[in-house]
A = this chain, B = another copy of it.
Amino acid sequence: MADVLRRFTSGGPGRALLRRLGVQVPVALPRHEPGRPEFTGPVLLGGTGSGRLGPVLAGILQRAGVPVLRTGDPGDGSGAAALVFDATGLAGSAGLAQLYEFAHPLVRQLPLGGRVVIVGDVPGAAGSAAAAVAAQALEGFTRSLGKELGRGSTCQLLRAAPGATETLEAPLRFLLSRRSAYVSGQVVRVGPPVGAFPPPAGAPQAGRVVAVTGAARGIGAEVAGLLARDGAHLICLDLPSRREELERTAARIGGTALAVDVTGADAPEVIAAHLRERHAGVDVFVHNAGVTRDRTLARMSRAEWDTVLDVNLGAVERITAALLADGPGGPVLRDGGALVCTSSIGGIAGNRGQTNYGAAKAGLIGLVRALAPASAGRGVRVNAVAPGFIETDMTARMPLLVREAGRRMNSLGQAGLPVDVAEAVRWLADPANAGVTGQVLRVCGQSLIGA
């Protein structure tokens, strides 16, 4: 069966079809590595005549130490590894032609792993219907361009809400860096800072306590590793049946292990008490544990429904409630902290055979959206990642054909790696990223699949 698909996707007609659908020939994505520069090269900065953020963006890039080019400079953009366009302040759709004029001659010159970031207004906060139209048009442009860039290049839209200026720094740097290698075609809303801002200088998570569920292996272990490298003390949670693997993972990153089944009736209490008594609280809690029990609804057992709903959603809700409940010295999740949930494309678009998983992962989106405004007063941000096709134990168990199609049906033409999701979690957990809350970031290489 796999041969048939491989022949099809490697033959001329199959390739032509996939290319027209926006599926690209895969290239090795440049990813972040310690010691490697944050950016792949100079950034060409452009904008409309009326943009309000040009100086802010230039300042961010200068502080990041990345060379900034301008259209009209000698060489006219050649050598730029990334394009940033300030599309704020567009009064109407006629102004969109400036974006065409900027990007049209430049997109072809982008190197492997190039970056395009368009910065626009939030349509609902634009000053007029005409401005809202232009701001929304940027989304269709961004998603279309993401589908045609190829060669590991990505394209995103940053929506700057009123009051979002310094808070643009963390999103812009992430999206321009190699850390967002598998994020493309996304729309990120940046607001004014939630909580104390800017955070203290130094390593992002220095002196902070971070807990991650499902941390023995896979994405959870990658998340724990990245946040430990950022200076956090890690508490790694996973099932008692994985205790040995969990302890190895925790030891490797200088963290501690807590073997607990998140669905256990006493798990919320056990986890909250552990964090409070041993660590005087937690700054970041990453809900990563998850399971699938795929079956069409007609054939799905009640147990398959219940397990998936409970592990992926119910346990997250109960543990979150325990972390947010008031207690001696305040809630276990400290002021200025962050919650990160792990949703899924299945929670956005649904998936055949996953009424249980789709419901649970959509429920997490509801949780993020409900808790974010309620938690902002304490400086707590609540976000989710929504992975697409990531090479994990879970996807390794898929039938070969589905797996191969899943890998290819996105703008980068390949599956993501656990580290790609971990980088997104790291970014959402970073106190410097204070303008992003209540959001769901897809980490999917701009999967074709959506709602």
Residues on A lying within 8 angstroms of B by beta carbon are 1, 4-5, 8, 11-14, 16-17, 19-22, 92-94, 96-97, 100-101, 103-104, 107-108, 123-124, 126, 128-130, 132-148, 185, 187, 296-298, 300, 302, 305-306, 309, 313-314, 317, 346-367, 369-371, 374, 399, 401-402, 405, 448-451
Q: Which residue on chain B has the smallest CB distance to residue A295?
A: B148
Copies in the complex: 2
- Tell me whether B104 and A140 are in contact (CB under 8 A): no
Q: How far is the CA of A140 from the CA of B308 in the complex (A)?
A: 13
Q: Is the CB of A363 within 8 A of B133?
A: yes
Q: Is the CB of B309 within 8 A of A93?
A: yes
Residues of B within 8 A of A362 (CB): 136-141, 143
Q: Is the beta-carbon distance between A358 and B97 smaller than 8 angstroms? A: no
A145's partner among B5, B314, B355, B370 (CB-CB below 8 A) is B355
Asked if B138 and A359 sit within 8 Å, CB to CB, the answer is yes
Which B residue's beta carbon lies closest to that of A367? B133
**What CA separation (Å) do A128 and B374 show in the bound complex?**
11
Nearest CB on B from A313, distance (A): 5
CB pair B359 A96 closer than 8 Å: yes
Residues in chain B near residue A16, CB distance under 8 A: 1, 399, 401
User: Measured between alpha carbons, how far is A82 from B256 in the docked complex, in Å?
Assistant: 53
Let me know if A355 and B297 touch, CB within 8 A. Answer: no
Q: Do B148 and A363 touch across chains, with their CB atoms under 8 A apart?
A: no
Question: 18 extra interchain contacts, Cβ-Cβ under 8 A, other than A144-B346, A147-B352?
Answer: A1-B13, A5-B13, A93-B360, A96-B309, A96-B363, A100-B297, A104-B297, A123-B370, A128-B370, A129-B374, A132-B366, A132-B367, A134-B366, A140-B363, A141-B350, A143-B348, A143-B362, A148-B355
Q: Which residues of B contact A449 (CB under 8 A)?
A: 448-450
Q: Which residue of B lies closest to A136 (CB)?
A: B366
Flag if B134 contacts A93 (CB, 8 Å).
no
Tell me the bound Cα distance from A126 to B367 in angstroms: 12
A330 vs chain B, min Cβ distance (A): 19
Give the docked Cα–Cα distance between A8 and B339 (Å).
45
Chain A contact residues: over half helix, strand or loop, or mixed? helix
B405 touches A305 (CB 8 A): no
Please indicate the chain B residues that have their CB under 8 angstroms from the CB of A357 in the complex. Answer: 140, 144
Nearest opposing residue in chain B for A109, CB measure: B298
Chain B residue contacts of A124, Cβ below 8 A: 369
* B11, B100, B123, B349: the one within 8 Å of A4 (CB): B11
Instruction: For residue A138, give the distance in angstroms from its CB to the closest CB of chain B.
Output: 7
B residues within 8 A CB of A371?
129
State whether A136 touches B20 (Cβ < 8 A): no
- Chain B residues with CB under 8 A of A17: 5, 401-402, 405
Docked CA distance A298–B83 (Å) = 14
Q: With A346-B144, A350-B145, A358-B141 in contact, is A100–B1 under 8 Å at CB?
A: no
In the complex the two chains form, what is the Cα distance from A324 to B401 in whole Å?
53
* B-chain residues with CB within 8 Å of residue A8 when the two chains form the complex: 4, 8, 14
The answer to whether residues A136 and B450 also contact, given A302-B97, A355-B144 and a CB cut-off of 8 A, is: no
Q: How long is the Cα–Cα vector from A239 to B17 in the complex, in angstroms?
A: 34
- The answer to whether B352 touches A148 (Cβ under 8 A) is yes
Whole-angstrom CA separation of A98 from B371 in the bound complex = 25
Give the nearest-CB partner of A8 in chain B.
Answer: B8
